[in-house]
Chain A
Amino acid sequence: DTGVSQDPRHKITKRGQNVTFRCDPISEHNRLYWYRQTLGQGPEFLTYFQNEAQLEKSRLLSDRFSAERPKGSFSTLEIQRTEQGDSAMYLCASSTGQGARADTQYFGPGTRLTVL
């Protein structure tokens, strides 16, 4: 399978716990994006990377959220001290990142987080 993969697919945690999600983009894709999607809504942008550099963070990304892409390949999204409002589907996408024009973003299956 050469698509975007995410792990885990489902995560149930108690409020206050820390969680970490992983995303493996399509091989050789330079750009990697994180989105959050709640029920009945479209995906909301959280952050994105060009190789290992984090280029932009949304205001939605509070201080409890941190994302890394240390080697420019896979990425992790960590949420500290989870709150019930963090319950959502966390989607990862990748693209070739050719120039400034927005190119096709390919989405992974997502990680569904439930905070009890």
Chain B
Amino acid sequence: GQQVMQIPQYQHVQEGEDFTTYCNSSTTLSNIQWYKQRPGGHPVFLIQLVKSGEVKKQKRLTFQFGEAKKNSSLHITATQTTDVGTYFCAGPFGNTDKLIFGTGTRLQVFP
């Protein structure tokens, strides 16, 4: 079945350092979505990428969709303690709307 993997599983960084999480799908995706989940919270939508090779930026966050539409990355520049949480990528399964979530990358930022 379709699988979405993320690496690394955990990342601990010093405040001000950069952070990157990588997402890989076993199948081609029509789009990729990124969510952030704070400890004890629920997934919050960050962004959706649709086009091959697309790059989008949200302040210190840069999202990229691979040319083959099977992988994606999220890069955070100069992390802050407010970036703490688990970052999930998710893609639609087949031609439906249901999302297959990645395994997530848990980010811890030390002040």
Contact = CB atoms under 8 A, between A and B. Distances in A.
Interface of A: 31, 33, 40-45, 48, 55-56, 58, 91, 95, 97, 100-110
Nearest to B100: A45
Interface residues of B, number: 24
Interface stretch (B12-20, B57-65, B70-78, B85-93): B85-93
Interface of B: 30-31, 33, 35, 41-45, 48, 88, 90, 92-93, 95-104
A100 B45 contact: no
B43 A102 contact: no
Contacts of A106: 45
A85 to B, nearest CB: 20
A45 B42 contact: no
Given A101-B30, A102-B31, A104-B33, A45 B99 contact: yes
A48 B97 contact: yes
Contact of A102 (B35, B42, B97, B102): B97
Contacts of B102: 42
A91 B101 contact: no
> Which has the most chain B C-beta neighbours within 10 Å: A42, A45, A48, A107?
A42
Given A43-B99, A101-B30, A102-B30, 10 more contacts: A42-B90, A45-B99, A45-B100, A91-B42, A100-B97, A102-B33, A102-B97, A104-B33, A107-B43, A107-B44
Contact of A41 (B35, B42, B103): B103
Contact of B98 (A33, A103, A110): A33
8 contacts: A40-B104, A91-B42, A100-B95, A101-B30, A105-B33, A107-B45, A108-B42, A109-B41
A100 B90 CA distance: 16
A108 B94 CA distance: 24
Nearest to A103: B97
A72 to B, nearest CB: 16
A41 B35 CA distance: 13
Contacts of B98: 33, 45, 48, 56, 58
Contacts of A41: 103-104
